[in-house]
Structure 1
Amino acid sequence: MIDIQTFMLALGVGNIAFALLMAGYMRGADNSPALGWWMWGRLSIGLAQLCWWVAPQFEPGLVEALSACVWLAGVALEVGANCLFFGFRRWRQSLYLFTLPGWVAIGYAVATGASRLQLTELISFIIALFVFGAAVVLLRPRKAPLLQRLIGINNILFALAIWTWLGLEGGNPGTTVSPVKDVAYLASYLLMIVNGFGFLLLCKQKDDALMRSLATVDSLTGMLNRRAFFERADSARLLALRLRKPITLLMLDIDHFKQLNDGYGHACGDRALQAFADTARGVLREHDVIGRLGGEEFALVLPGTALEGALEAAERLRIAVAEAPVLDCAPGYRMTVSIGVVTIGVGEELTAALARADHALYAAKTGGRNRVELGAPMLRRA
């Protein structure tokens, strides 16, 4: 049977070691701010547990009160880390409103001469409430990832384990710990430590997703960058070839973009690119593949779309761009786009189709701009 004092010592040392390990992991890296909150919360909990362990050597009630308040603050930091991670707004005020009454309850218990066991029960009950609140935060999104749901369920199990221990203790007051209570208490804090690893994995998962995004997405427009576009477009071409489905390719260029940059500045040009990207996303289908090849030039692949449908889609996009609101940074500029359209032939390489679409785009621009031009068909080998 585990002695609670020894158990507190083991938990305190383990949590502090965990926090120091995370500090080393975060050093010199661009980590999520939520991970820092979680690290400080875990350190606070570990220090509080060590204080609780040494409390019997000092003035009765004083060190217990201090460690209980620090412990509660550490748990509040962990809940705050979850809120920060998921980008909730105005969560700090709610956290303060829940933390302050907890501190007041701890102060009142100490002032009225509560025993060490009663203070243990009080802080355990408050912590269980906080962790249950964290579970609500984690399980709130309907489409939460599996890892997030597992951590939320783990939090609920932790709260239930604490409340089970409190129920057993309430039915058998005293300082001794029955095997059932021992298991409940041990399980609750092991679950809490496991949640720490889970939160770390959540942060790593988010960082990995950000790195993948930086490697594939154009930071200005939010569209695929050149390399990612070629990969996705070629995958769509090969799939269309296997399924014997049509696939079309469009080359797009914003008209008079150089004059916009020269006349109103590059910041205004950037806003024009973003406005075009937003307009295109509002017109295109979810499975269409669009990317920024460089400057004001874009490419678009329409899987499962024959030439007639591609011309209609190109015309819808051209009209939508022409009807987009005038940029406030360039009052005299009306954004338009020229488009070249081709069908990717059976067995034709993507680069060859792009060359034909680029010729069609050139024809659209020399033909007056703000128009859609059909490209020449693929040359058949003799």
Structure 2
Amino acid sequence: MIDIQTFMLALGVGNIAFALLMAGYMRGAPSNSALKAWMWARLLSGLGQVCAWTAPHFGVDLLVDVASFTWVAGAAMELGAYCLFFGFRRWRQALYPATVAAMLVVASAAALGASPRQMTWTVAVLVALLASAAAMILLRPQKDAPLLQRLIGAVDALFALAIWMWMAVADGRTDAFNASPILGFAYLSSYLLMIVNGFGFLLLCKMKDDAGMRRLATIDGLTETLNRRAFFERADAARMLAQRLRKPIALMMLDLDHFKQLNDGFGHACGDEALRVFAATARGMLREHDLMGRLGGEEFALALPGTSLEGALHAAERLRVAVTEAPLPSCATGYRMTVSIGVIVIEPNEELTAALARADHALYAAKVGGRNRVEVGSAILKCA
């Protein structure tokens, strides 16, 4: 039979061990504020649990209060780690006052001479509320949320439920595992929380870092469009799919007009902003399955699966007009961007590089023809 004090020691040692494990991991990993907050949350929770075990064994009543404060602080910091991980913007405006209020509740209970049982209940309510909030964040409706995130959220919800059930059914008894099935459920949920959430959050952060590295390998950092290599790969895959389905696929080459003059006249920072504004304008007019890539400098390419020449010309003209109406207020007030566009439809069995060359010739014709215009590329000459 394991009593609650022994179980608290096991939890405390486990949480402190997790904190040290995370500290070691972070020494060789990129800086991660969410993981750092999680490490401190585990450490605070572990210290609180060790203090809860130490107090009755050494007769230091002050450690009961220390345990209460650190346990609540650990739960609040864990919630903050989730907020940092998901990039919430105004979470501090809600969590900081809530944490201060929770600490004041614990301080008031201690100042009023609450009994150990009353203090335990006070801390349990606060921790259950924070764990419930964490579960809501992790289990909220979210597109493409990883299964690991849902699992951590389910464990948080299970832990909060176990606390509420213990308070409702177990009548505050904390003597042993077999004193009540509810106690056993609550204690085992706590241990499950430590193991699953400890390793789970570490893996979740690693998954996010790996996704970031994959993104860096495919996305142009300035314009948030596909980089050259990724565009070629995905556009070629779209070309082959269109060929199998016997569907048209249009291709555009785009180039910002007088870009060198913009850079020379207003500075490279302004040129970068122009590229970002142009890319954002173009993305806002594309369909979900259309592809846009930056091939280099101010040159971009678009692949539009399922689009005929007529549809591509209509889309190109709408994009040309939208670019002329996109302002650059922070660096070149009064300057008007324009874009030249070459448009083709990829022929059956035509390689992507050959199609891009035809679109590039059309783009050159648009430049020679006065810029700020759309030109259609010539068809492939077929032998009789």
TM-score, L = length of structure 1 = 0.93
Name the SS of the counterpart of 2:370 in structure 1: coil
**d(CA) in 2 for partners of 1:264, 1:359:** 30
2:272 paired residue number = 270
Map 1:340-351; keep pairs closer than 5 Å: 340-351=342-353
1:225 paired residue number = 227
**d(CA) in 2 for partners of 1:327, 1:373:** 29
How far off its partner does 1:311 sit?
Answer: 1.5
1:289 paired residue number = 291
Residues 324, 336 of structure 2: 8 Å contact kept: yes
Amino acid at match of 1:23: A
How far off its partner does 1:142 sit?
Answer: 4.6
**Residue deviations 1:228-257 (CA, integer Å, cap 9, x gap):** 100110010000011011111111111111
Name the SS of the counterpart of 1:347 in structure 2: coil
How far off its partner does 1:328 sit?
Answer: 4.5
**Residue deviations 1:145-202 (CA, integer Å, cap 9, x gap):** 14333322321211111122223331x7574551414412322212321223332233
**Residue deviations 1:2-26 (CA, integer Å, cap 9, x gap):** 2212111111111111111111111
Residues 272, 327 of structure 1: 8 Å contact kept: no
1:153 paired residue number = 154
Q: 1:111 to 1:368 in 2, by over 3 A?
A: closer
Q: 1:173 to 1:314 in 2, by over 3 A?
A: closer
Residues 61, 110 of structure 1: 8 Å contact kept: no
Amino acid at match of 1:268: C
**d(CA) in 2 for partners of 1:240, 1:330:** 42
Q: Which runs of 4+ in 1 moved over 6 A?
A: none
How far off its partner does 1:138 sit?
Answer: 2.3
The worse-fitting range, judged by mean Cα deviation, of 64-73 and 278-287 is 278-287
Q: Percent identity over the alignment?
A: 64
Map 1:157-306; keep pairs closer than 5 Å: 157-170=158-171, 173=173, 175=175, 177=177, 178-193=179-194, 194-306=196-308
Residues 3, 175 of structure 2: 8 Å contact kept: no
**d(CA) in 1 for partners of 2:335, 2:273:** 12
How far off its partner does 1:337 sit?
Answer: 0.8
Residues 242, 305 of structure 2: 8 Å contact kept: yes
Q: 1:346 to 1:124 in 2, by over 3 A?
A: same
Name the SS of the counterpart of 1:251 in structure 2: strand
Residues 161, 188 of structure 1: 8 Å contact kept: yes
**Residue deviations 1:13-71 (CA, integer Å, cap 9, x gap):** 11111111111111132143111101110011111111111112444421111111111
How far off its partner does 1:346 sit?
Answer: 0.8
**d(CA) in 2 for partners of 1:323, 1:167:** 64
Residues 109, 119 of structure 1: 8 Å contact kept: yes
**Residue deviations 1:58-107 (CA, integer Å, cap 9, x gap):** 44421111111111111110011112222223322422333233333333
2:3 paired residue number = 3
2:364 counterpart of 1:380: no
Give the paired residue count.
381
How far off its partner does 1:358 sit?
Answer: 1.0
- Work out which of the residue numbers 313, 316, 323 in structure 1 matches 2:315: 313
Amino acid at match of 1:272: A
Amino acid at match of 2:222: L
**d(CA) in 2 for partners of 1:173, 1:374:** 81
**d(CA) in 1 for partners of 2:28, 2:363:** 47
**d(CA) in 2 for partners of 1:179, 1:160:** 16
Residues 222, 276 of structure 2: 8 Å contact kept: yes
**d(CA) in 1 for partners of 2:276, 2:319:** 15
Residues 48, 68 of structure 1: 8 Å contact kept: yes
Residues 255, 340 of structure 2: 8 Å contact kept: yes
Name the SS of the counterpart of 1:283 in structure 2: coil
Amino acid at match of 1:244: R
TM-score, L = length of structure 2 = 0.93
Residues 4, 175 of structure 2: 8 Å contact kept: no
**d(CA) in 1 for partners of 2:165, 2:141:** 28
**d(CA) in 2 for partners of 1:372, 1:144:** 38
Residues 170, 183 of structure 2: 8 Å contact kept: no
Name the SS of the counterpart of 1:346 in structure 2: coil
**d(CA) in 1 for partners of 2:260, 2:81:** 46
Structure 1 unaligned regions, length at least 5 = none
**d(CA) in 1 for partners of 2:173, 2:193:** 25
